[in-house]
Structures are given as structure tokens and as C-alpha cells.
Structure 1
Amino acid sequence: MAATPVFYSPWVTVDLLAGFVRADREQNLGTYGIHVHRDGEEPVEHRFRSDDRVNLYSVAKTFTAIAVGMAEAEGRLGLDDRFLDHFPELRPAAADGFDQVTLRHLLTMTSGTGHTWFANMRVDAADLLHAIVAEPLVAGPGARFAYTGSGFYALGRLIARVTGADVREYLLPRLFRPLDLHNPAWHTCPLGFPFAESDLFLRTEELARVGRLLLQDGEWEGRQLLPAGFIARMSSIRTDMKLDGDAYTDGYGLGVWLEPGGVYRMNGAYGQMVVIDPARRAVVTVTAHGEDGNAQLAAVHELVLDRLS
């Protein structure tokens, strides 16, 4: 198979990505592709292999957060709604304190639930949502951050409850089709609901369109696809936390990781990321299968974004 051609924009030279390409080789970052967008310029990208659709892992959480923001703008829900108000039939089996868990808590992973689940784990429960709601809380809602996919799966189920369409079907006419993201796959639980926290599949260039949409406050080709106010809240509602060995993360917003200087990112396992830098009006998108996401993130900042200044 012929190698995928690499396009370099006239606004920079090949040198923009030369350092990143070298780092990928020397540090075994496992990059599949990198795409750089900057407002007013042609994109720059480098392919290490063909641009196939790949599992975005936890980048999918941001898509679910976007769906919640859209549903809020349509008047179907509010971030301070208590989750069980939308699922009253689950109240009898719910853990003590879960009746105070709001959608905001689930989006910021501060619900206090002791339920830890991710899409790569087997689902043994007859209904995963019932298991999540019934799991005892280990902290009060809003008291602490705990990373888990459980809350985003619950939010995906909420989208289905309030809109009549699962999160993928809901986003098809509102996000995927307007961005020409044709029929993306999103793996589902045994009941047929998308995992919502992971297992959405897109190409590097397709994912880059979503990053550009966020940079442009939800506007795409003259059409407001996403509520601009919600995008602003995604990166301004802050849960303080740190990740060991990661100098670029110091908080979590609404489905996005927060960085110093107003930068925020969509982030998934094995090096999937979309780093959005409003000050530089730039987006760097990476798909990969590497074992050191911190090294990948550092390379994006030090060898790409810092060179745009």
C-alpha cells in the first residue's frame, strides 16, 4: 500500500512537526497521526500510518458532555437536575445519598459513587445503570473527584430518557452529520446503549473537526451547532485535581481536562487527545497507541504548541 501523502502548510515549514516526528521515533510514542489547526491557516498534519478510524477511548466522554449541553439548550434538562428526578423508578434501590447526585456531579466525576467501571470491563449486571445507582457512595456528592466511566454511562442513559434517542442517535443530526462524520461506530452495552464514556471510533482528521468546532465556540460554516455558553462552561467549571507526572493537568471541567493558561483537552487512553489552545487559536489532534500518555502530551506542548508562539 502506498504511503499516505503528508501535507505541509505554507505558513510553517516541515520543521514544525520534525521535532515531534523525531520524538515519536526516539520515545516510541506510538502515534498514528497528528493534525495541527490554526485559525486563518491551512492545516498541517503528519501520518505515521493510514488514517483509519480508531477507538478514541475516553475522548468519548467529551462527546457525551456535548450531548448534555445540547439537550440543556433544548430545555430537556439542567445541569443542577438531580439524576434520579429523571429516573424515579430507580429511587427504591438507590444508595443512600444518591438522590442528591446532580448531572453536574456526573459530568465532573464528583458524584461520590464507589462504582468504578470502564468500557473495557465486562458488564455482568442485568442493567449497568441499576448497578451504578445502587452502589454505596464513598464521599458526599461534590466532595471529591474520582475517575470512572460510570457517570458518563449514566449520562448517556439520561440522554436516551429525555430525548427518546440514544446518545449516538441524538448526535447524528446535531453534530456528526453537520461535520461530515459519516456513521461513526460507538460500541454499546448488552442493552444496546452506547458506552458513552469510551469506544467511539473516528479518524484523526475527523476528530480534529470537533476540536476546531470547540475552538470556534460551536460555530461551523456559519451555523451554530453547539451552544456557545456551554462550551465556555466546559472549560471554566473547575474541579481541582492533579495527575502524577503530568505537568499539563491541574483540573477537570465538564468532560474535558483543564490546563494552565486557558488550554483544555479531550483525552483518551493510549495517547488520544485534542488540545485546544484559545490564546494561540490552535488545536492539536493526535491518535495513537502508546503506553506513555504523559510523554505524548509533553511532546505536543513542547514540540508543537510552544513553537506556534
Structure 2
Amino acid sequence: MTVGLLEDFLRATDEWNLGVYGVHVYHAGADPIERRLRSDDRVNVYSVAKAFTAVALGLAQAEGHLTLDDTLLSHFPELASSAAEGVEQITLRHLLNMTSGTSHRWFADQRIQTPDLLHEIIEAPLEALPGQHFAYTGSGAYAIGRTITRAAGVDLRSYLMPRLFASLDLHNPGWHACPQGFTFAESDLFLRTHELARFAQLLLQEGHWGERQIVPASFVHEMVADPVDTSSIDYGDRWTFGYGLGVWIDMDGMYRMDGRYGQYVVICPRRKIAVTVTAHCEQDSRLLDAIHAFILDRVD
């Protein structure tokens, strides 16, 4: 693997005006390579944050605080009387893989108008039975963050600080919170390209970092083991291979973390490669095409 690999990628993204900030390629057994096209600032990784929330859920499960198949209302029994019909069937797994069936659509760039967003999520009527239909929303990740806070006794960011962020030397990352102080969980996590690349490498290494097993390997496998069907959505062909636990399934055994405006992490377990890109790109699908064509398709 050579730096020339990135030169071809960057030349293409420049010609196509794809707004890349930085790119990092990790290939097991070789030195990582990275290029930056702007100052090394932390940027909003948008929905890539959902994968961090997924890992937090896996850690909380390993510590005995909860399980993925707990129902949401089992952790918030005081809200059961106001919950919409069918919400009692929603599990944390449903929330994470976007099959809760909720009609609630919320993302962190939207102003929260309600006194308590979790109450609004629980009170929203279902449009499908839990587990039956994929519908992308930030509401589920936010609800998971609230559940981890309830079960573990600290907010999501504080929960991950000693368990994940400090272990990867991600010093004091910013993560925006709602008016009540609960971490957004679905977005608005701020990292540098190479910091996000450490998280990518951690997952590529099945949760192992240095001499420690930070995340259970079994959970890393579970993140992609049983994806839900996404073939009916209209995002584009690269979004039709399925969705796991906070991650998109890609072709040929790969999987991805996707964030708005071209924040991408693509992991290829078979070839032990992780590609991390930060950007401000209005052509998300074309940037993803460039990652495949000029990097992943060229690494043996």
C-alpha cells in the first residue's frame, strides 16, 4: 500500500469537487497512510455517532446493565401509561436497527420543541409492528442513549469516556446534548479524521486494542450478523444491502458508518482494511463510489 493510492483518490475527489477534509487508510500489517486537505479540526461526524451508541449498548450489555432484547419500557415503566399502542413491544435491538415501527422522525439538527423528547418518542403512534419495517430516524439512537443513562447511572458520553474514548486516546471529544442534558446519541459527535480512524481500527480488530479487549468480539460480530432488509429505500444502490446495529452493510462482506456530508468509515474484515473519510460533500454517493473505486478496489 503506497501514498500514491491516496493521490489518485484525492485527484478524483478534487476533480469532482467532493469537499474531502481528510482520508485515513489502515491496512493490517502496513503503516497507516493519511492525507489532509484542511486544518486538522474536529468535525461533526453526524450519523457515524450511531455506531458509537451501538458500541455503548454492547458494553452496557457486557456489564450486565441491560440486554439488547430488553424492551424500552422495561427501563421506563413510569411512561407506560402514556405510551402509544404497541410501544411495549419495542426492544433496544429494534431501536438500534431502525425497525421499531415508530412514526417519530427526529434528527439532531432539528430543534427540540417538546419538554422531553423521550416522552414524545414513546407517545408517537406506530406505523408498523416492531421488527417488521426499516425506517431511518435518529429517535431510536437517542432513546438508547437515554436507556443507557437510566441503566448505568451516567449520561452516554460520560459512560464512554473511560471505557472507549480514553482507551483510544480520544481526549475529551465534544458530543452535543439535548436541553435536558442527555447526549444526542444519534449525531453531533465531534472527532478528527485520525481519531475516528482509531474507532474504525478497533472494530476491524474485533474490539481489541493494544493488550486489551475493549469491546466484546461477540458484539462486534453481532453488529453485522443479522442485518435488516433495506432494499425498498430510495437512498441509492449502496444503501440496499441491509442495516445492522448502527451500521450499514456494504458489498462483499464490508460494512460502513455513514454521516451526513460525506463522513464515511468503510470496514473490510476479509482484507483487514478500514478507510476513514471526513468531508463536506453534497454528493455523498459519489464520494462513496470514489472510496471504493480508488482505494478499496486497489488494495490487495
Residues 49-78 of structure 1: per-residue CA shift (max 9 Å, x gap): 111100000000000000000000111111
The answer to whether the Cα contact below 8 Å between 1:264 and 1:276 also exists between their aligned partners in 2 is yes
Within 5 Å, give how 1:238-277 maps onto structure 2. Answer: 238-242=227-231, 243-244=233-234, 246-249=236-239, 250-277=241-268
Any idea what SS the aligned residue of 1:295 has? helix
Q: Deviations over 1:15-54 (max 9, x none)?
A: 2012211111111111000000000110111111111100
Asked whether the 8 Å contact 1:235–1:262 carries over to 2, the reply is: no
Give the match's secondary structure for 1:209. helix
In the superposition, relative to structure 1, how do residues 247 and 15 fare at CA in structure 2: closer, same or farther (>3 Å)? farther
1:245 is displaced (CA, Å) by: 6.0
Question: 4+ residue stretches of structure 1 with deviation over 6 A?
Answer: none
Residue 16 of structure 2 aligns with an amino acid whose one-letter code is: Q
TM superposition shift of 1:259:
1.1
3-state SS of the aligned residue for 1:240?
coil
Identity %: 58
Deviations 1:224-283 (A, max 9, x none): 000110000001121011354633331000000001221001110000011000111000
Q: For residues 44-55 of structure 1, what are the structure 2 equivalents within 5 Å? A: 44-55=33-44
Return the alpha-carbon distance in structure 1 between the equivalents of residues 61 and 295 of structure 2: 35
Render the CA deviation track for 1:101-158: whole Å, top value 9, x for unaligned.
Answer: 0011001000000000000001010000000000000111011000000000000000
Match for residue 176 of structure 1? 165
Residue identity opposite 1:222 in structure 2: E
Structure 1 length-normalised TM: 0.95
Could you tell me which of 140, 156, 172 is aligned with 2:145?
156
Residue correspondence of structure 1 range 1-309 to structure 2 within 5 A: 11-12=1-2, 14-242=3-231, 243-244=233-234, 246-249=236-239, 250-309=241-300
- The amino acid that maps onto 2:53 is T
TM-score (norm 2): 0.98
Deviations 1:201-224 (A, max 9, x none): 000000000000000010100100
Decide whether the 8 Å contact of 1:156 with 1:195 is kept in 2. Answer: yes
* Secondary structure of 2:173 counterpart: coil
* Counterpart secondary structure, 1:248: helix
Is 1:132–1:150's contact at 8 Å kept on the other side of the alignment?
A: yes
Letter of the structure 1 residue corresponding to residue 181 of structure 2: G
Amino acid in the other structure paired with 1:221: G
**Separation in 2, partners of 1:273, 1:298:** 11
Distance 2:123 2:204 in 1: 38
Q: Distance in 1 between matches of 2:62 and 2:226?
A: 17
Counterpart-to-counterpart distance in 2, 1:22 and 1:261: 26
Classify 1:306/1:239 alpha carbon distance in 2 versus 1 (closer, same or farther; 3 Å).
same
What SS does structure 1 have at the residue aligned with 2:215? Answer: coil
Give the secondary-structure state (helix, strand or coil) at the position aligned to 2:237. Answer: coil
Structure 2: state its 5+ residue gaps: none
The answer as to whether partners of 1:271 and 1:286 remain within 8 angstroms in 2 is yes
